[in-house]
């Protein structure tokens, strides 16, 4: 395969004079307090844009999110105006069908409820008064109905008061024990209390506030939205509002090792639930009705039990129930479905060669064309000939911008970049490179220069290993693993998208399963050698390797299988004992797919790449980090790593968070995480 050297134009915008004029590099405190922009939402005619803006109060260390509005029909330089009142913390904007008001969720009343506010401004109007929090909503196309998501006890059916009484009784009970008779007993960072996420429908437009609604998903024993990260993108209204479609997995004893989500068709009065995709035992997601109601579009995987399989775009004729794949030759996994105004194309984002562009896929031919590239598109909206999107990169968090739906009109930035918000900061310039990795196949990576880079100098290196393992460290912004925080300290950064990463074709992604410790390790070793050969400023004698989740596993693995280059290691929430992981994690389908079966059926597979078997060869100083609420990779895994290090007499530290899950999300904890990690690096490789 021919090697290709790719340099991104965005990466070269940082010139040496700009570095010389800048006062400093980027820091974790900059990252923690940066304004964040998200959720670009267009009015039905595409002439008005609303988006969310999150601001952190430095004095209280608390964040708040407001909605802002911009009239796109004007070409003056007036900035967006705040739409929601000061002191309101809101989320999930959506325009009314007539474009005159914006709906959103807020807990201003003490519980999460649905509100609307005129586009022209004014006081928000509360639309719901339910005894339970509204967890999500979706307006019908004509705006006369709204779907509302609640967490309810199944035996309570449509009676929200029943669920509230049960919750109050559990809170007041003196005994704290809980008896389980099936899994999930816990998921991600929460214990199962018996409730299911369910969707209700209510009429809009009457006097007073909505207090009750019709249960739509009562005939389906499963969560919609799914747990722990699902939303109502898995729910759709038909154009006439008479039917809904939703993606649900059955909540039964098989759920922890099952990825079989099905698309259900239900009448808008809650009757007639029908499984449309019962013939596919794998994951079906994201239904969207055609305007004429005759076709249902959705995404589908083919292999049961594999959460990282390719999501193909599908079209089902509702009259016959026959489905076809729209773009079988497009070797990318679609993130979602947004129909074009004429119904001839699907807009979707997808990982692609270290970036995350927006594509348009022709429904008739299956041809996919890139609409917006350069960095990573995190969200978008299309209406009235306008495309609004948020895009981030290795140099900035999300910037909201607009263009034409074909992406050919000039891109118009609506919100500032990180560089514009922090003009005194110099950013580490970055470049994508590639090399020949495992199986003589091309593997890609990124190198980030330190903020104060000078030709001829060498710089210590932070070698970052991504998690997933079906993930990517590409041209995108992260608030947890951000290369610029290392570049801002004067380090160079190297990141390798080893075999198993997404965006390089499904075969590339598949190659890591049952091969956690050999193929990716070969890529990391060859990528590290290739980076040093290509970039003379990398100081290979002063380098530390860092990773989380699968990246934490790989750090634990290389501690006993590739220790030679590293002066220190950082293992965050990493797998240490594969066999224990197979019994203790909550989503069993993950370990059982990755290891080829259960620990009792395939014990040799769990031992083949098991870091616990190589502790005798450990010698590199390691910082271990874990959160108590991490039920994906339970905290005992991290404690065991630290125990092994201490027992072996290897220099080590353990950073423990009693209130964090698989991620570190609280701003103060994030600052502590970075200060601890940076201190560890400075202790071992300088700067």
In three-state form (DSSP H/G/I as H, E/B as E, the rest C), the secondary structure along 131-190 is CCCCCEEEECCCCCEEEEEEEECHHHCCCHHHHHHHHHHHHHCCCCCCCCCCCCCEECCE
How far apart, in whole angstroms, are the C-alpha atoms of residue 108 and residue 123?
13
How far apart, in whole angstroms, are the C-alpha atoms of residue 463 and residue 523?
13
Helix (H, G, I), strand (E, B) or coil at 55: strand
Is 376 part of the annotated catalytic residue set? no
* DSSP secondary structure of 79-137: PPEE-SPTT--EEEEEE-TTSSEEEEEE-TTSS-EEEEEETT----EE-B--SS---EE
- The β-bridge partners of 654 are 624
Give the closest residue to 74 by CA, choosing from 412, 375, 360, 340.
412
Catalytic-labelled residue, pool 379, 390, 549, 571: 549
Is 549 part of the annotated catalytic residue set? yes
Give the closest residue to 517 by CA, choosing from 528, 508, 506, 525.
525
In three-state form (DSSP H/G/I as H, E/B as E, the rest C), the secondary structure along 225-275 is CCCCCCCHHHEEECCCCCEEEEEEEECCCCHHHCCCEEEEEEECCCCCCEE
Helix (H, G, I), strand (E, B) or coil at 557: helix
The dihedrals phi and psi of 526, each to the nearest 5 degrees, come to: -70, -35
Neighbours of 687 (CB within 10 A): 13
Sheet holding 36-42: strands in order across?
36-42, 48-57, 62-71, 81-82
Neighbours of 370 (CB within 10 A): 14
Helix (H, G, I), strand (E, B) or coil at 355: strand
Please give the radius of gyration of the chain, using alpha carbons only, rounded to the nearest integer.
25
Neighbours of 334 (CB within 10 A): 25
How far apart, in whole angstroms, are the C-alpha atoms of residue 647 and residue 18?
49
Q: What's the length of the chain?
A: 687
Catalytic-labelled residue, pool 662, 670, 674, 684: 662
**Tokens encoding 340:** 């074009």
**Tokens encoding 607:** 């031992």
Sheet holding 274-275: strands in order across?
235-237, 243-249, 261-267, 274-275
**Tokens encoding 119:** 């586009």
Q: Label residues 139-167 b or e (16+ Cβ within 10 Å = b).
A: bbbebebbbbbbbbbeebebebeebbebb
How far apart, in whole angstroms, are the C-alpha atoms of residue 449 and residue 429?
5
Kindly compute the dihedral angle of the four CA atoms of residues 231, 233, 234, 235, in this order, to the nearest 10 degrees: 110
Neighbours of 628 (CB within 10 A): 15
Is-contact 296 288, C-beta < 8 A?
Answer: yes
CA neighbours closer than 13 Å in the CB half-sphere of residue 365: 6
Helix (H, G, I), strand (E, B) or coil at 30: helix
Catalytic-labelled residue, pool 335, 573, 577, 630: 630
Place of tokens 């990716």: 520
Is-contact 443 435, C-beta < 8 A?
Answer: yes
Q: Which residues are catalytic?
A: 549, 630, 662
């Amino acid at each position: 395969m021919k090697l290709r050297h790719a340099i991104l134009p965005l990466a070269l915008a940082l010139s040496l004079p700009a570095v010389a004029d800048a006062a400093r590099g980027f820091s974790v405190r900059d990252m923690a307090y940066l304004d964040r922009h998200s959720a670009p939402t267009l009015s039905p005619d595409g002439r008005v844009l609303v988006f969310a803006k999150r601001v952190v109060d430095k004095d209280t260390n608390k964040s708040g999110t407001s909605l802002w509005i911009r009239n796109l029909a004007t070409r003056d330089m007036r900035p967006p105006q705040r739409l929601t009142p000061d002191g309101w913390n809101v989320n999930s904007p959506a325009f009314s069908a007539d474009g005159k008001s914006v709906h959103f969720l807020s807990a201003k009343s003490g519980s999460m409820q649905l509100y609307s506010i005129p586009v022209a401004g004014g006081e928000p109007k509360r639309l719901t008064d339910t005894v339970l929090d509204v967890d999500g909503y979706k307006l019908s196309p004509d705006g006369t109905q709204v779907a509302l998501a609640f967490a309810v006890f199944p035996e309570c059916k449509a009676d929200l008061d029943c669920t509230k009484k049960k919750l109050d009784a559990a809170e007041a009970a003196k005994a704290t024990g809980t008896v389980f008779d099936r899994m999930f007993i816990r998921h991600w960072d929460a214990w199962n209390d018996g409730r299911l996420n369910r969707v209700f429908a209510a009429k809009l437009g009457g006097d007073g506030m909505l207090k009750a609604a019709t249960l739509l998903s009562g005939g389906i024993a499963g969560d919609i939205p799914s747990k722990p990260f699902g939303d109502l993108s898995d729910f759709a209204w038909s154009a006439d509002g008479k039917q809904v479609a939703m993606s649900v997995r059955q909540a039964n004893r098989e759920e922890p090792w099952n990825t079989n989500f099905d698309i259900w068709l239900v009448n808008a009065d809650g009757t007639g639930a029908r499984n449309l995709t019962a013939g596919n035992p794998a994951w079906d997601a994201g239904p969207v009705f055609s305007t004429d109601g005759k076709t249902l579009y959705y995404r589908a995987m083919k292999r049961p039990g594999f959460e990282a399989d390719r999501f193909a775009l599908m079209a089902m004729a509702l009259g016959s129930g026959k489905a076809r794949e729209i773009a079988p030759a497009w070797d990318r996994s679609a993130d979602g479905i947004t129909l074009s105004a004429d119904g001839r194309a699907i807009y979707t984002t997808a990982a692609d060669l270290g970036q995350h562009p927006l594509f348009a896929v022709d429904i008739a031919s299956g041809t996919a064309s890139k609409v917006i590239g350069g960095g990573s598109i995190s969200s978008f909206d299309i209406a009235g000939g306008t495309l609004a999107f948020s895009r981030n990169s290795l140099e900035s968090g999300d910037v909201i911008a607009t263009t034409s739906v074909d992406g050919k009109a000039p891109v118009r930035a609506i919100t500032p970049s990180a560089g514009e918000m922090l003009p005194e900061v110099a950013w580490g310039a970055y470049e994508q490179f590639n090399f020949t990795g495992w199986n003589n196949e091309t593997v890609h990576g990124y190198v980030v220069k330190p903020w104060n880079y000078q030709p001829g100098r060498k710089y210590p290196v932070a070698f970052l290993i991504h998690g997933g393992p079906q993930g990517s460290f590409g041209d995108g912004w992260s608030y947890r693993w951000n290369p610029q925080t290392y570049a801002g300290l004067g380090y160079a950064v190297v990141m390798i998208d080893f075999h198993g990463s997404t965006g390089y074709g499904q075969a590339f992604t598949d190659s890591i399963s049952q091969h956690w410790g050999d193929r990716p390790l070969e890529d990391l070793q060859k990528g590290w050698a290739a980076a040093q050969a290509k970039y003379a400023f990398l100081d290979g004698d002063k380098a530390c390797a860092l990773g989380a989740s699968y990246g934490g596993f790989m750090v634990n693995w290389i501690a006993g299988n590739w220790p030679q280059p590293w002066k220190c290691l950082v293992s965050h929430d990493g797998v240490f004992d594969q066999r224990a992981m197979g019994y203790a994690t909550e989503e069993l389908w993950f370990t059982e797919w990755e290891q080829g079966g259960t620990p009792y059926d395939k014990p040799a597979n769990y031992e083949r790449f098991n870091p616990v078997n190589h502790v005798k060869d450990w010698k590199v100083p390691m910082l271990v980090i874990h959160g108590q609420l991490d039920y994906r990779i339970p905290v005992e895994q991290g404690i065991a790593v630290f125990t092994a290090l201490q027992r072996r007499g290897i220099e080590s530290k353990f950073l423990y968070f009693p209130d964090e899950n698989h991620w570190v999300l609280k701003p103060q904890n994030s600052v502590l995480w970075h200060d601890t990690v940076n201190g560890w690096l400075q202790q071992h490789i300088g700067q």
